[in-house]
A and B are shown apart, each in its own frame.
Chain A
Amino acid sequence: MPLSKDQLRRAYRQMKTIREFEERLHLEIATGDIAGFTHLYCGQEAVAVGVCEHLANDDFIVSTHRGHGHCIAKGCDVVGMMKEIYGRRDGLCKGKGGSMHIADVNVGMLGANGIVGAGAPLAVGAGVAARMDGAGKVSIAFSGDGACNQGTTFEAMNMAVVLKLPVIFVYENNHYSEHTGADYAVGSKDMTKRAAGFGMLARKADGCDFFAVYDLMTEVLQHCRSGAGPASVELDTERFFGHFEGDPQRYRGPGELERLRETRDCLKNFRATAKARKLIDLAELDAIDAQVMQLIESAVTQARAAPVPQAADVFEDVYVTY
């Protein structure tokens, strides 16, 4: 079924929100105002949005260290996220988690994760819960090309097949794990074939093309929601910034980033497709751009002004203290 104008506007707005959230963070982090390690999702927006636009509030996702995009796509509050990344007391996790640990179970977002490969088993558990709840709920594990080599990921894939769970392993292949190329670290060089070897539906698509991701997910979700078992989806994507903010990126080839920004930008691709297929008036997208810029500006302003945590907060949200 083709997307309605409303759905198109929503999807574009979500992608643009992620993009501008990250572009702005890139600038803010350079000022030194934001502490800790931050991994930006910029460039991969079509994956998070192409997947999550299919999900209901009570479907589950499990995210990674590069989690801002998944959070926004699944419906986390953008201002609350910004406050969290700034380490503010009324941030989404009270300033205790920061960029790498944003979670909001109320929207089915079971957490970003600092441990690479930890998400897939958690998603299996959420898949168990989803099946108990009935009604075709699903659980999604977002993982990177690096995370897909972790033993936990293999255990999770096998168990999901054994238990025939409604779990989808979404592999975002951005071709790098930190400073290492995916072709080096993924021995078979083909994680989709490898996933198929576990006995599950395994598909891939261009992760810089929202429409390709969305269409593939329509099919895969139908499979999972109908009780036919887990699936693996590999999405070929790009990260536009370093592994973390501050990464000198010496592993990149000359002109690589410029070329990626030019040819592999999912927002540009969205606009090009929208125009070619006459899906929506581009002026409408321009209007969305302006609204998103305002939202991000306001999120940063609010985050900056928000109160910082108090020392006594250290002792809250833990079962016992000594």
Chain B
Amino acid sequence: MAKMMLREAINKTIHDEMERDKNIVIMGEDIVGGMGTAGGPEAIGGIWGLTGGLYAKFGANRVIDTPISESCIVGAAAGAALAGKRAIAELMFADFVGVCLDQLYNQMAKFRYMFGGKTKCPVTVRITYGAGMNAAAQHSQAVYSMLTSIPGLKVVMPTTPADAKGLLTTAIRGDDPVMFFEHKTLYGISGEVPDGEYLLPFGNARMTREGNHASIVTCGQLVRAAEKAADALAKDGISCDVIDLRTTSPLDEECILDSVENTGHLIVADESPPRCSLASDIAGLVASKAFAALKAPIEMVTAPHTPVPFARELEKAYLPNAAGIEAAVRRSLAYRH
């Protein structure tokens, strides 16, 4: 075990995997940084500092600093994968999914199926996402719900440094395209990370709190908010399951359903807007598969159906938070037919 920040865990995992497998190539904007400048290569190592040291170690054939061309970054990663390589592509902000959606949606997601299983498409697209830094409407979005709806893509969201390692390793070694969502406010959190080989299977949620009164299902940044809410409720004798989904596709249905069967109260906390969201998806799942267990209407704590606003006061009001989750649990428990 070693204590490190989530950003360090990601950096180290990429280093380890590229060391282990010479077939891996990584590409993205400023992932080396300083190309064509007086400062020279490695001036930055990614704007979030996640790709530092790769260029010096693995060289220009495998660590590719690209022009600002998201369609081509993601497309080239998919093309390299078709041609037998294993690719990691970086989107500096999740919002830029909007620029390269064709390559994600019509191309890499569909190859294996559309080509009758004759090809694999081992691409990990690392994507920085989420609100909380006042980065406004085009640099703050939580687009994982949208990508979760696309058949052929796997969608992953680590919330601890250990999970970042375990899930990223699985993503890189897997044969399907993976959207690997990293919340920008989680890069600095610290935790113990297992040494050596450490892989976490997809579709395996993590129960971060256990209880009997309510089930809080969430992912990404909101896991911490859910834990905070659960801890506050525990002081009043209300105990909750907090389920960190880790991957939204595949989804650990069993974990969710088992929990709801036990508690009868479901609260889903989701940073994306409410329509066609992870929240509505899980609500649908539970309504169709565990209806009889429900003792109250399902509570969905989501961002509002608006773009992400800039001003501090507005973004704060926009983001779901611990108080909102706590109130939702209390509402659910107070519900009477």
CA distance A186 to B66 in the complex (A): 10
Please list the 4 inter-chain residue pairs (A to B) with the smallest Cβ-Cβ separation, ordered nearest first: A184-B36, A181-B36, A253-B38, A87-B311
Give the contacting residue for B68; candidates A149, A310, A320, A321; CB below 8 A: A149
Whether B37 sits at the interface, judged by CB under 8 Å, is: yes
Cβ of A69 < 8 Å from any Cβ of B? no
| CB–CB A308/B311 < 8 A | yes
The SS class assigned to the B binding surface is loop
Name the residue among B71, B310, B317 with the largest chain A CB count within 10 angstroms.
B310
Identify which of A171-179, A194-202, A227-235 touches chain B: A171-179
Query: What are 28 A-B pairs with beta-carbon distances under 8 A?
Result: A35-B310, A35-B312, A36-B134, A96-B310, A96-B311, A96-B314, A100-B136, A100-B138, A114-B136, A146-B67, A150-B70, A176-B37, A177-B68, A178-B29, A179-B33, A179-B44, A182-B36, A185-B35, A185-B68, A251-B34, A251-B40, A253-B38, A308-B313, A311-B317, A314-B306, A315-B306, A321-B305, A322-B275
Binds A, one of B93-101, B108-116, B193-201, B245-253: B93-101
Nearest A residue to B66, CB-CB: A185
Residue A117 CB within 8 A of the other chain: yes
Interface membership of B139, Cβ < 8 A: yes
| A27 contacts the other chain (CB 8 A) | no
Inter-chain pairs besides A35-B134, A114-B137, A185-B67, 18 sampled, C-beta below 8 Å: A35-B310, A36-B136, A37-B135, A87-B134, A95-B313, A96-B314, A114-B95, A115-B96, A146-B67, A147-B68, A151-B69, A177-B68, A180-B29, A181-B37, A251-B43, A311-B317, A314-B317, A322-B274
Asked if residues B36 and A180 are in contact (CB atoms below 8 Å), the reply is yes
B162 vs chain A, min Cβ distance (A): 29
| Interface contact B38-A252, CB-CB below 8 Å | yes
Q: Tell me the chain A residues, 263-322 only, with Cβ under 8 Å from chain B.
A: 308-311, 313-315, 318, 320-322
Q: Bits for B80-120, please: 1 = Cβ < 8 Å to A, else 0.
A: 00000000000000011011000000000000000000000
Residues of B within 8 A of A220 (CB): none
* Residues in chain A within 8 A of chain B (CB atoms): 35-37, 87-89, 95-98, 100-101, 113-118, 146-147, 149-152, 176-187, 250-254, 256, 308-311, 313-315, 318, 320-322
Q: How far in angstroms is the closest Cβ of chain A from B271?
A: 15
Asked if B8 CB lies within 8 Å of chain A CBs, one says: no
Contacts of B44 on A, CB cut-off 8 Å?
A: 178-179, 250-251
Decide: B39 and A251 in contact? CB cutoff 8 A.
yes
Closest A residue, CB atoms, query B93 = A114
Partner of B307 from A118, A308, A318 at Cβ < 8 Å: A318
Residues on A with C-beta less than 8 A from B305 are: 318, 320-322
Q: Is B227 an interface residue when CB atoms closer than 8 A count as contact?
A: no
Inter-chain CA distance A322–B98, complex, in Å, is: 23
A37 nearest CB across to chain B (Å): 6
Q: How far is the CA of A182 from the CA of B37 in the complex (A)?
A: 8
- Contact present for A117 and B312 (CB under 8 Å): no
Q: How distant is B63 from chain A, measured CB to nearest CB, in Å?
A: 14
The answer, yes or no, to whether B133 is at the interface (CB within 8 Å) is yes
**Assembled-state Cα–Cα distance A315/B309 (Å):** 10
Contacts of B136 in A (CB 8 A): 36, 96-98, 100-101, 114
Q: Which residues of A lie under 8 Å from residue B138 when comparing CB positions?
A: 100-101, 113-115
Q: Given A87-B134, A314-B306, A250 and B65 touching (CB < 8 A)?
A: no
